Amino acid sequence: MILVTGGAGYIGSHTVRELRSRGYDVVVYDNLTTGHIEAVGDAIFVKGDLFDVELLKDTFKKYGVDSVIHFAAYSLVGESMTNPLKYYHNNVAGTLALLEAMVACDVKYLVFSSSAATYGDTGEDIISETSPQKPTSVYGMTKLMMEQLMADFDKAYGLKYVALRYFNAAGAHESGEIGEDHNPESHLIPIIMQVLNGKREKLGIFGDDYPTPDGTCIRDYIHITDLADAHIKALESLKSGASSNAYNLGNGNGFSVKEVVETVEKVVGKPVKREIVPRRAGDPAVLVASSDKIKKELGWKPEYDSLEKIVASAWKWHSTHPDGFKTK
């Protein structure tokens, strides 16, 4: 049995779908602060908080949990800068509580949702796992500290973990039944979709004076189902005896904000109203991943290998769910 913290959230719920479709038994453990119960599907659901160590232990015992995939965290870079207490408390101390329960119940395997934000501004064109980890945000620092906690728990208690450092998660499940639904929304592709759905007047492009060919920031967009697949491969590797490890997850191709907007216009066939607005604090100019390590070691390969495919899957969800999970 696999326990998925944050399994009602965007990346968590897609991973739960993928696990269930491959026949795994899953318990979703989520406090529903930002997650959606509608996203949980047919997995077992326990409403709980990371800080409730007793409930975690009871849940591990009751369902015979042998491994955990840990998504539950706050993830807004901007908010982390103005409210570090919330981020260090929930993300770092919350993970410590989870690890405490895991050690107490002898749950040995953990796949962890880390982030490209642990690297910060490396100045490198393509980021590999050996690039220096110097986060520029509190959010990124919390993810790096969580990686450190796991490394120390491995040394002391033999906890085996894989940290997956994702770049920009995007798109939605092929069924169109689950997808991205944040409130407030801050991510580029869903914001563009809100403009197309008439929920927002226009897109503000955060700066066109970056040192990139068209002046807008470049990111590496990776489909949510490809991310989900990587979590399962990582867990399977641990269960077959692999050592703890960290992997980047991206497509290896960078797209500027302007290129993303143009791709959406092409895929959807409608113009997107936009304007250039000031830069957003903390945005690095370019973040592109090398995912060679996970391809080589775990045989992972992205199925959604073009931005068009990723955007089309996002539109399938947003066009049918303009109000997210609240759409009637």
In this chain, which stretch among 7-15, 86-94, 181-189, 194-202 interacts with ligand UFG, using CB under 6 A? 181-189
Least distance (Å) between residue 268 CB and ligand UFG? 17
What ranges make up the beta strands (E) of the chain?
2-5, 26-30, 44-47, 67-70, 109-115, 160-166, 168-170, 203-206, 218-219, 221-223, 245-249, 255-256, 274-277, 286-287
User: Is residue 188 within the footprint of ligand UFG (CB under 6 A)?
Assistant: yes
User: Is residue 117 within the footprint of ligand UFG (CB under 6 A)?
Assistant: yes
Q: Which residue of 280, 308, 320, 326 would you call a contact of ligand UFG, by CB under 6 A? A: 280
The size of the chain, in residues, is 328
Catalytic residue among 74, 109, 119, 139: 139
CA atoms in the 13 A half-sphere facing the CB of 143:
31
Q: Say if CB 171 and CB 313 are below 8 A apart.
A: yes
Fill in the amino acid letter for 28.
V
Sign of CA dihedral 115, 219, 125, 136: negative
Least distance (Å) between residue 311 CB and ligand UFG? 13
User: Is residue 75 within the footprint of ligand UFG (CB under 6 A)?
Assistant: yes
Question: How far apart (Å, rounded) are the C-alpha atoms in residues 8 and 23?
Answer: 19
Least distance (Å) between residue 134 CB and ligand UFG? 13
User: Is residue 322 within the footprint of ligand UFG (CB under 6 A)?
Assistant: no
Shorter beta-carbon distance to ligand UFG: residue 152 or 281: 281
Q: Say if CB 97 and CB 56 are below 8 A apart.
A: yes
Residue with tokens 């491994």: 67
In this chain, which stretch among 35-43, 95-103, 201-209, 235-243 interacts with ligand UFG, using CB under 6 A? 201-209
- Using left for φ > 0, alpha for ψ between -120 and 50, and beta otherwise, residue 258 falls in alpha
Least distance (Å) between residue 54 CB and ligand UFG? 31
User: Is residue 168 within the footprint of ligand UFG (CB under 6 A)?
Assistant: yes
Any catalytic annotation for residue 88?
no
- Cα maximum dimension of the chain: 56
Residue nearest to ligand UFG (CB): 217
Q: Which residue of 205, 222, 264, 289 would you call a contact of ligand UFG, by CB under 6 A? A: 205
In this chain, which stretch among 87-95, 111-119, 174-182, 290-298 interacts with ligand UFG, using CB under 6 A? 111-119
Fill in the amino acid letter for 219.
R
Q: Which residue of 59, 220, 283, 304 would you call a contact of ligand UFG, by CB under 6 A? A: 283
Question: How far apart (Å, rounded) are the C-alpha atoms in residues 70 and 92?
Answer: 12
In this chain, which stretch among 14-22, 40-48, 112-120, 246-254 interacts with ligand UFG, using CB under 6 A? 112-120
Q: How many CB atoms lie within 10 A of CB 10?
A: 26
Number of residues that bind ligand UFG (CB under 6 A): 21
List residues binding ligand UFG (CB under 6 A): 75, 77, 115-117, 139, 168, 186-188, 191, 203-206, 217, 219, 257, 280, 283, 287
Catalytic residues: 139
